[in-house]
Each structure stands twice: as structure tokens, then as C-alpha cells.
Copies of this chain bind each other. A is one copy, B any other.
Amino acid sequence: MNKSISTILKGYLPILDWLPNYKKTDLQGDLSAGLTVGIMLIPQGMAYAMLAGLEPIHGLYAVTVPLLIYAIFGTSRQLAVGPVAMVSLLTAAGIAGLNPSSPEQYLIYALSLAFLVGLIQFGMGLMRLGFVVNFLSHPVINGFTSAAAIIIGLSQIKHLFRINLPNSEHIQEMLVAIWQNIGDIHWITFGIGIIGIIIIKYGKKIHKSFPAPLIAVIVGIALVSGFDLTAQGVKIVGDVPSGLPSFSSPSFDMSVWRSLFPIALTISLVGFAESFAVAKTIQAKHKNYKLDANQELIGLGMANFAASFFKGYPVTGGFSRTAVNNEAGAKTTMASIISAVLIVLTLLFFTGLFYNLPSAILAAVVLVAVSGLVDYKEPLHLWKKDKSDFAMLIATFLITLTLGIETGIIAGMVLSLLVVIYRASKPHMAQLGRVPGTSIFRNLARFSDLESRKDLLMVRIDGPIYFANVEYIKNKLDKWIEEKEDKVKMIVFNMESVTNIDSTGAHELNEWILTWRKSGIDICLSSIKGPVRDVLNRWAILECVGSDHIFIDDNYALSYFDKDVDQSLIEKYSPYATQTNK
């Protein structure tokens, strides 16, 4: 290891990698991107805070210090950190389960959640656990995102229609409640919302960096102020306190931590998965820096610590804002610093302007943001290509939709893992026969003209031999021996595609060998892979089989059985068949 201190420092503080070489040309892009994203952040931050069940101001607090912190510790240069829809919904769902008694307590729970998320992400980063994000397979993320987008959309209906709906993440309850209250729609509120949706949705088409949400906010405020719509019953944001967030402290009550832990873990994983996915996509377009999953966890963890100490709530890298940031020309995280400065200025001088902002406009911001997340093309594609992945997508989608966000993501992960395990618990096994006149062996079930014999069972197991499949393998072997009318004198185990053997597998293999030998069936092993040779050696199974029963390929095994083997060749190749690592 010849890493200099500077390299190590740059690993932990990626800002040192770009700040010393910062160029004027970079500033141009960063300034444009920072302002664009900052302007986007004002309505989005407020809207997502509302989605999370908090006062809108906390959405703005969440994009001050956390952004600066990520700018120092994060490895992505374009990632726009802040509140996002999914994490906001998870925050609301998690805190609702604790039945907070007052808005103050609700806030404490939100801060504690941010602290726990910080702790989990920071800890995972230190322990180099970034790889766990791989456990969320594409079909699972796709099904989960589509369902969550629908749930988030439905949660905004109450603001859009101004009707009373219970806080719920269960679609059945939400649909029933909407149906029951549909008569109470407040049409003026609904009209404002529709205007907001139209401005945001079609404003983007004018120009990529057209500040459509901000325009919608201005139009909404103007309508309410101009026509005195509050008197008509339109709900507004009201007083937004001015000034920077004061220092706040999360709860350190262990019983609170214990209750929040499951949702914090979910937010940590989902948040990181979303963030890292978008960071990878953008990084692939630049390639002038490297992403590091573990350092990303550390960066996001630090940002969440900052959120918990400055009246924010859990944050992560957002999909759409990061895309905008990149398109507007962001070259480094200086863009994020500029966004944060813009928010700080807003907090200091402009919060009074938001008094008349209608909630329906914030609902419109959320609705447009999540409407693009419902993906119907991918399921259609998978239906044609891979039924098992299709089933996984649909299952995750339906579970998320009916049993809630948290259950959905966990069920999706567990499903992915179960499918992997299920496949490995029923490994593909083949009886081999020789391609006539060659030393090549193929699966008897797939080719009709192979040579096979009753006194010899040649078997290939495609997968590891381990706790979850030993019984399946043994049953199949017994069945094949029976099918050969118990005339089998020798079993050749082709182990070329056995990738691993655990303690249970090694123990069982040993048992089989002893049992078969007792009943007059000899065993050979062929084509053993290096790592498997090591395991078999450690458990003394190579010894039990006998070193003269281990062959470099099936052909030598077969020759040995027929005793027409050329001993000099066996000696020549035996090191390649039996040598194990020191």
C-alpha cells in the first residue's frame, strides 16, 4: 500500500479532490445549476415537508446545512441532496405509528428519525456495507416505486380537493375515504390545484430550466391575495417563521429509537438506493471522478446528522432535482453550496411572501413529481422475457399498494432473496452422456444421441452444495440410481459447476460417499474448482474419496472405470485435479 496521506484524506473528504483545482469555467455551470435547483427547492422542500406531516418550513431547513455537509463528504459532484417524496412518505408513515401527542413531539420524532438514518448510513459506510444496495433488484425497485408513487399521489388528494381524509398508507382505506368524501370537494381549491398542475407540467416544456414550480407558487399566491380566497375557504400555508434554523436535538430515548428503528432502516436503504442509482447514471455521463458506495453512505449519513441537528428531517439524493442540476451545468458540489445559500437568503428575507401560498399548489408540486414514476413499460417487457422477474415486480407492486410502503420494500427484498435461495435450493442437475467418439460430455435430457450405460451414473450439479439443497440433491441421485435398476457400480460427480460447499454440504457429501461405498458403489470426483477443492480438503473429503479417484475431467474418470487409463497421463495431470491452495 503506497497511498499518501493526501489520497486517504481525499477518500474521506472528496471536496479536497476538486476544490484546490476549482476553475472559473466550473463556476459558471455551478452558479446556473445552483440557482436553478435552489429555486426548485423552495416549493419542493415545502411540499415534501407537508407530505412528511411537518410544517413546510422544515423542508427549507432540511436544505441548508445538510447540503453543505454533503458537498464536503459526498463523492458525486452532481447529486442534489434534500427532501424527496418517498422518504417524506416513509417519515410520515413511521411517525404516525408512534401516535405523537403534539406537533412538537412529531418534530422531535422526525429529528430522531433523521439522526437514526444518519447513524445507520454512516455506520454502514464505515463497515463497507455499500454492497447491500445490490440486494434491491431492478424489478423490486420498479414495482415498489410505481406503487409508492400511487400512494403518494393519493395522499395529496386531500389537499387538492380540500376534503378530510385519514392519514394512511393503505390504498383500500384511502380509496374508501376519498369515495365517501367526494361530495365535499372544495371547487376553488381544486381549481387552484389544477392551474398549478398545468403550469408545472407544461411549463417544463418551454425550457428545461424554466422555474415552473416557482411560477405556480407565485400564481397561487397572487390568486389567493388578489381574490381574498382564504375567505372562500382555500387553505393556505400561513405564517412561515423567518430566520435560520436554530440548533435542535433529536430524542435519545431508547424506547423511541427502538420504535423508529425499522422505518429508519427502511429509509436508510431506500434513500441510499435511490440516491446511488441516480448518482451512478449521472456519473456515467461525466467519468471525470469516481463514485464510492461506502463514501456515499458516509456523506448521506453526515447530511442526515446535520438535518437532525438543524430542524430538518431525513434527506437523500433526489432523482429529478439531480437530473435538473446536471442539465443546468453543475460541475461540482459547489452548485449545492450555491443552492443552500439561496435557501438561506430566502429564510432570512422572503419567508413572509409565502403566507398566502395555497396548500393545493404544494400538492400540485408533489403530484407532478411522482406522476412520472409510475412505470408500466417495464412490467410488459419482463412479462415477455422473464416471468420470474415479472412476478417479483407485480408482487412487490401489489404488496406495497395494499400493505404499505415499508412492508412492500421489505417483502420485495425478501422475495428477491427467496427466489435466489429457491433457485439454489433446487439446483439444475444433469445426467451426462458422451458425445460419440469424443471426450465431450453433455446432458442426456437435452441431446438424444449420447452414449450412456447402466453401470455408470455421471452427474453434474449446477450450483453450490449447501444447507438448502443437500436433501434435494440426495433425493434426485437416489431416484437416478433407482432408474438404472440398481445396477450402478460407479458414480462420477462432475463438479465443474459446483461453486461452493458449506459445512452441511461437506458433511452430507461425506455421508453419501460412505453409504454408497458400503453398498458397493464407487465414487469419483472430476473437474473440481479451486475454491471447492480447498473446502473438500479441509473437511478431509478428498482423502475419503481417495486421491486416485479425483480426475481433471470426466474422460479420465471414465477411463479409470474401464481400467484402460494411461497411468502416465493421470500422473501428468493429477496436480491440476487435486492441488489445493496453501
Give A contacts to B, CB under 8 Å. Answer: 131, 134-135, 137-139, 382, 385-386, 388-389, 416-417, 420-428, 430, 435, 438, 440, 442-443, 445-447, 462-464, 466-469, 471-472, 496-500, 502-504, 506-507, 529-531, 535, 538-539, 552-553, 573, 575-576, 579, 581
Contacts and interface: CB of A to CB of B under 8 A. Distances in A.
B423 A500 contact: yes
A504 B446 contact: no
Contact of A573 (B435, B504, B538): B435
A581 B428 CA distance: 14
Total copies of the chain? 2
A438 B579 CA distance: 18
Nearest to A445: B530
8 contacts: A131-B472, A134-B468, A138-B503, A385-B538, A423-B464, A428-B499, A447-B576, A497-B499
B553 A440 contact: yes
A535 B497 CA distance: 17
B416 A467 contact: yes
B139 A503 contact: yes
A308 B49 CA distance: 48
Contact of A497 (B137, B386, B496): B496
Contact of A424 (B137, B386, B420, B438): B420
Contact of A435 (B471, B539, B576): B576
Which 3 pairs of residues, A with B, have the shortest CB-CB distance? A137-B467, A497-B497, A386-B503
A514 to B, nearest CB: 14
A421 B425 contact: no
A137 B468 contact: yes
Contacts of A423: 464, 500
Contacts of A421: 135, 417, 420
Contacts of A469: 134
Given A139-B503, A417-B417, 9 more contacts: A138-B504, A386-B503, A440-B553, A447-B576, A447-B579, A462-B497, A462-B531, A496-B497, A497-B498
A499 B529 contact: no
A440 B530 CA distance: 15
A497 B462 CA distance: 7
A468 B420 contact: yes
Nearest to A494: B496
Contacts of A496: 496-497
A541 to B, nearest CB: 11
A162 to B, nearest CB: 31
A134 B552 CA distance: 32
A310 to B, nearest CB: 33
Nearest to A553: B440
Given A428-B531, A462-B529, A389 B137 contact: no
Nearest to A462: B499
Contacts of A462: 497, 499, 529, 531
B467 A573 contact: no
A470 to B, nearest CB: 8
Contact of A539 (B385, B502, B573): B385
Contacts of A138: 467, 503-504, 507
Contacts of A385: 503, 506, 538-539
Contacts of A135: 421, 468
A430 B530 contact: yes
Contacts of A417: 417, 421
A577 B405 CA distance: 46
B425 A134 contact: yes
A504 B392 CA distance: 13
Contacts of A389: 502-503
A440 B538 contact: no
B576 A471 contact: no
A579 B450 CA distance: 14
A575 B448 CA distance: 11
Nearest to A438: B573
B503 A552 contact: no
Identify the interface centre among A137, A388, A467, A530: most chain B CB within 10 Å of its CB. A467
A521 B276 CA distance: 29
Nearest to A449: B575
A496 B495 CA distance: 10
Contacts of A539: 385
B420 A579 contact: no
A579 B446 contact: yes
A86 B175 CA distance: 43
Identify the interface centre among A427, A430, A445, A464: most chain B CB within 10 Å of its CB. A464
Nearest to A293: B471
A472 to B, nearest CB: 8
A137 B579 contact: no
A227 to B, nearest CB: 47
Contacts of A500: 423, 428, 463
Given A440-B573, A573-B435, A579-B447, A529 B497 contact: yes
